[in-house]
Amino acid sequence: MKTNHIRTFIYFIVCIPFFSHAQTKENTLYPHADSLELELHEKTTVDKAYALMNNSKTEESYKITHRLITTLKTSRSKSSLCLLLANYHLRHGLIDSTAYYTNKALKYNEHINKSLTREQHLSLAYGLLGVINYSKGLFDESKRWYLKGIELSQNFKDTRYYYQNLDGLAHVYEKKGDYKNAIKLFKELIKNSDNRILISDYYASIKKAYHQLNNHDSLNTASGLFPDENEATECPETQKRLANEYQKLGHHDKAISLYQNAIENAKKNKSNGVLISAYLGMGAALIKLGKTEEAKPFFSSSLQEAKDQGSFGVQIEIYEGLEEIAIQEKNYKEAHYLALQRYKIKDSVASLQKSKEINELEIKYNTLEKEKEINKQQSITKIVIISFIIILIPIIGLLVLYYQKHKTHNELNKKQEEINQEKISSLMKDQELKVIKASIDSQDRERKRIAQELHDSIGANLAAVKLQISGIITNTQQEKIKMMNLLLDETYQQVRNLSHNLIPKKFSKNRFCDVLDEYCNNIGAASNLSIAFRPFPRKKIDTLEANLQVETFKIIQELITNTIKHAKASSIEIQFNLIKNELNILFEDNGIGFNTQNIINGIGFENIKSRLQKISGSFFIDSRINRGTIITVEIPLVTNSELLNEDFFDKKIF
């Protein structure tokens, strides 16, 4: 039934404009300074009307909306109100009124600045046009509007606009017999909906589609979620839908009872669309029971209403029901006549869907007439504006005086800021002198430490050697000569160890980049891992201070070790870039990646952090599951500007 689709569409549209109106604050028709204030004021009023509709106070909302649409000024407010009125008439099955207010909303929407609000209103209007054409049986036109709405809704973070139009497109596919696409869209809607009634509708549609495709295995698994009868006591649409389900299962008596309840409640709520659908369902159930005479009035009473609304699809269903009654009664002449009427309507639908170009020309003509009316109104507006300008001149004079005063005040603030900057500069120079003094003191302390080390270790041994040599002069015993050799060896070893502690052997005898190249090649050969090392400029990187070379090498070792252990990578790329006074290292692998929140505090990364702290460096990790890992390391080199950092000499140089 078409009303299933209309009801699900109402579920989407009743909330969306309310939120979209609240999300935007941009300017609209009025370019003056007070336009934004006017929009914000009108927004509060429009929100109240939407709130009433959301709380099922439809009649109260309808009255307020009709009053507001004549008093509010901005195009955005008028567009929102027209969409609300279209929604109201859609609830009551008044398709022509729905179309009228939808087109009116589109006209107002033309004057809204091209923004999120304008596109959101367009998406809603396209969805309404899809429902209107769907209700009339113009499924190709309905499909076109839904597709336009879906395309436009891709620009929004709010996915409700997308699913509103997707719901309509799914029902169009179902109606046109494209069940595979319909099933695909209904499944997507189920995954992204938390409304039990809508989900049950989607399951019912999927079951129907599988039945049409004779896919019995899938039909058995698509067990729809339908509400209890207790939930349907006050909702005619839910009662009608439950009746449809009982009808499909062959429980015609139960279906008739629910259809009767739906008809009574629909009359109370003035839900014309639900009423017609319930009439058709009741007629179909009575035909199944062979009660053709009782079924006739339900079809006949719906026919004129369907004609008045221009609902071609409903008319076709009515003629099909009456035709089936005539056949059962063996009144073949009447059946033939009804079949002809049904085919005429189908031909009319085809003709309407082919007259697209004529409709577009008519729209252009109506637009031109509206533009003429707008030009006339603009002439009147100009007269009002001129009068307003005459009054505005004295106000502008006052604003000029205020501007001059404000400008003078800004200049005073600027002068004060310059004075403050000079004070800050003076303080920075004093601080720089303190840093330099601290640097010199640190150098003196280090010289003292080295001197003490030489005195206590190497000096003592050399003194002993001297005494032994003195002894040789008077005593040439072999034992003393051996002792001298031992002392000399020990002294040599101490000097050698001290030297090695300062500069490792492989760094002192080889270029830094060559050491890294050799290490990468050895690791790659041993682990079947492709490691590319690219330093630039290579010669300058080779001249980095020894301590920095050692720490950098250890960091690369740690990173490669982590990659081999955890990343499952096949290739690693390491780039060294020496730019100005900073060494930038880019380490990238094509492994499985990891969650940085879980791994960042591991032992390996803590070691890297500790080494980087010694040389005032920093690093950043960019990793995603199944996308590899990129680690960026930045190490500042010793420059004059770094002397401004008081902790630099303590932490990095000494």
Tens of pLDDT along 319-348? 888 788 888 878 888 878 878 877 777 676
β-pairing, 571-579 vs 582-589, is antiparallel
Which residues make Cβ contacts (< 8 Å) with residue 133, sequence separation at least 6?
139, 141, 142, 145
What per-residue confidence (pLDDT) applies to 225? 46
Q: Count H helices and E strands in the chain, helices first.
A: 28, 5
Give how far Cα 271 sits from Cα of 9, 99, 235, Å.
15, 17, 11
The DSSP secondary structure of 378-424, one letter per residue, reads HHHHHHHHHHHHHHHHHHHHHHHHHHHHHHHHHHHHHHHHHHHHHHH
> With 90 as the cut, is the pLDDT of residue 577 above it?
yes
Please tell me the predicted confidence (pLDDT) of residue 449: 62
Tens of pLDDT, residue by residue over 351-361, are 655 555 445 54
Query: Residues 6 or more apart from 222 whose CB is under 8 A from it?
Result: 203, 206, 207, 210
Could you count the other beta carbons within 10 Å of the beta carbon of residue 442?
15
pLDDT in tens, 181-198: 888 888 888 888 877 777
The CA distance from 533 to 559, in Å, is 13
Sign of CA dihedral 100, 102, 105, 106: negative
Per DSSP, the residues of 494-520 read: HHHHHHHHHS-HHHHHS-HHHHHHHHH
Distances 208 to 205, 222, 255, 288 between C-alpha atoms, Å: 5, 10, 17, 19
Tell me what pLDDT residue 8 has: 58
Strand, helix or coil for residue 251: coil
Structural fold of domain 1-176: 1.25.40
Instruction: Show Cβ contacts of residue 137 under 8 Å, excluding neighbours closer than 6 positions.
Output: 311, 312, 313, 314, 315, 316, 345, 349
For residue 618, the surrounding DSSP H or E stretch is strand 618-623
Q: Which range among 74-88, 204-218, 627-641 has the greatest average pLDDT?
A: 74-88
Q: Indicate whether 87 pLDDT > 80.
A: yes
Percentage of the chain surpassing pLDDT 90?
9
269: CB partners within 8 A, 6+ apart = 236
State in Å, rounded, how far the first CA of the chain is from the last one. Answer: 84
The alpha carbon of residue 342 and the mean position of all alpha carbons in its chain are separated, in whole angstroms, by 48
Q: How many angstroms from the chain centroid is the CA of residue 517?
A: 44
pLDDT value of residue 4: 56
Report whether pLDDT(46) > 50: yes
To the nearest whole percent, how much of the chain has pLDDT over 70? 70
pLDDT score recorded for residue 15: 52
Alpha-carbon distance 417 to 390, whole Å? 41
d(CA 442, CA 449): 11
Instruction: Please state, as a whole number, how many other Cβ atoms lie within 10 Å of the Cβ of residue 2.
Output: 22
Whether 481 shows a pLDDT value over 50: the answer reads yes
Task: Write down the pLDDT at residue 555.
Answer: 92
Residue 647's nearest CA partner among 428, 434, 448 is 434
Q: Kindly report, residue by residue over 270-281, the tens digit of the pLDDT.
A: 777 777 777 888
Greatest mean pLDDT among 284-298, 446-460, 515-529, 624-638: 624-638
pLDDT at 446: 66
Reduced to 3 states (helix: H, G, I; strand: E, B; else coil), residue 135 is helix
Q: What is the pLDDT of residue 243?
A: 78
Chain Cα centroid distance, residue 201: 28
Of the candidates 259, 245, 303, 266, the residue with the CA atom closest to the CA atom of residue 93: 266
Rounded to an integer, what distance in angstroms lies between the CA atom of residue 634 and that of residue 556? 13
CA distance 366 to 73: 23
Other CB atoms within a 10 A radius of the CB of residue 131 amount to: 29
Q: What is the pLDDT of residue 466?
A: 60
Residues of the chain with CATH 3.30.565.10: 507-653
Q: What stretch(es) of the chain map to CATH 1.25.40.10?
A: 1-176, 236-345
pLDDT tens per residue across span 521-575:
888 887 778 999 999 999 999 998 888 888 899 899 889 888 888 888 899 999 9
Strand order in the sheet with 618-623: 530-536, 571-579, 582-589, 629-636, 618-623
Instruction: Give the integer Cα–Cα distance in Å for 490 and 327.
Output: 121
pLDDT average, residue stretch 490-497: 62
| Mean pLDDT rounded to a whole number for the chain | 75
pLDDT band at residue 254 under the 50/70/90 scheme:
confident
Residue of 582 and 63 predicted with greater confidence: 582
| pLDDT recorded at residue 25 | 41
Cβ pair 88, 61 in contact under 8 A: yes
Per-residue model confidence as pLDDT tens digits over 370-426: 776 788 888 898 898 998 899 989 899 889 988 988 888 888 888 888 888 878 865
Q: What does the pLDDT look like over 89-143, one tens digit per residue?
A: 887 777 888 888 888 888 888 877 657 777 888 888 888 888 888 887 788 888 8
Has domain 507-653 been given CATH number 3.30.300.10?
no
587 beta partners: 574, 631
Least-confidence region, from 180-189, 200-209, 488-497, 640-649 = 640-649
Q: HSE of 116 in the Cβ direction (CA atoms, 13 Å)?
A: 14
- Choose among 36, 149, 142, 14: nearest CA to 85: 14
Look at the chain and count its residues.
654
- Strands 571-579 and 530-536, by their bridges, are parallel
Highest mean pLDDT among 308-322, 480-494, 498-512: 308-322
Domain 236-345: what homologous superfamily? Tetratricopeptide repeat domain (1.25.40.10)
Question: Looking at the DSSP assignment, which residues form a beta bridge with residue 629?
Answer: 589, 623
pLDDT at 506 over 80: no
Is 500's pLDDT higher than 80?
no
pLDDT at 571: 93
Least confident of 39-53, 133-147, 179-193, 423-437: 423-437
State the DSSP H helix or E strand holding residue 343, giving kind and residue range, or none if neither: helix 332-354
pLDDT for the residue numbered 535: 94
pLDDT category at 462 given cuts 50, 70, 90 is low
